[in-house]
Amino acid sequence: MPRKVTKALVRDIKPDRIYDSVMVQKVINRVMQDGKKQIAETLVYNGMEKAAKKLKVENPLEVFDQALKNIQPHVETRSRRVGGANYQIPFEVKGQRQNHLTIMWFVAAARARKGIGMGDRIAAELTDAYNGAGSAVKKREDTHKMAEANRAFAHFARF
């Protein structure tokens, strides 16, 4: 008997105060620890401004958007058991999941940098991602390589 499928509740996230962007608010929420949103806001805003200053770009939101666009994955692999063997099957990533992975990889890459404050880590990761470098972009490239390597198993996705 098939299981009952329930849809996940999608919360409506309001845009942030300065740039009026939902993506900036999502990054702030992901950076936030122990409910300290004001500190997370300050860190993200300062990081965006430092990155824009370093790249000599007028609008920090342009840097932010381009950096996240460079991190955004288009394909990912999911494990699937077929005939007693596990295969990594490539799937296209769309919508909410694409944004989720982008933000997760960005914040994880910023947290992984050691020796400097979180605002500077965010600025450095934004700068690297804007230029197509950095660990978050590398994570995306690794994911794409994995999907490309397993393209032969794409026909298993049609089951």
Q: Please give the pLDDT value at position 150.
A: 85
As a three-state string, the secondary structure of 86-153 is: EEEEEEECCHHHHHHHHHHHHHHHHHHCCCCCHHHHHHHHHHHHHCCCCHHHHHHHHHHHHHHHCHHH
What's the whole-number mean pLDDT along residues 7-25?
91
Domains observed in the chain: 22-158 (1.10.455.10)
Residue with tokens 């994880």: 108
pLDDT band at 21 (very low <50, low <70, confident <90, very high): very high
Q: Kindly tell me if the per-residue pLDDT of 138 is higher than 80.
A: yes
Q: Please give the pLDDT value at position 11.
A: 84
For residues 35 and 7, the model is more confident at 35
Q: Please give the pLDDT value at position 80.
A: 83
Q: Please give the pLDDT value at position 8.
A: 80
Q: Kindly tell me if the per-residue pLDDT of 29 is higher than 90.
A: yes
Q: Please give the pLDDT value at position 1.
A: 65
Q: Please give the pLDDT value at position 159.
A: 53
**pLDDT tens by residue, 66-121:** 999 999 999 998 888 888 888 888 889 888 999 999 999 999 999 999 999 999 99
Helix (H, G, I), strand (E, B) or coil at 92: strand
**pLDDT tens by residue, 39-75:** 999 999 999 999 999 999 999 999 999 999 999 999 9
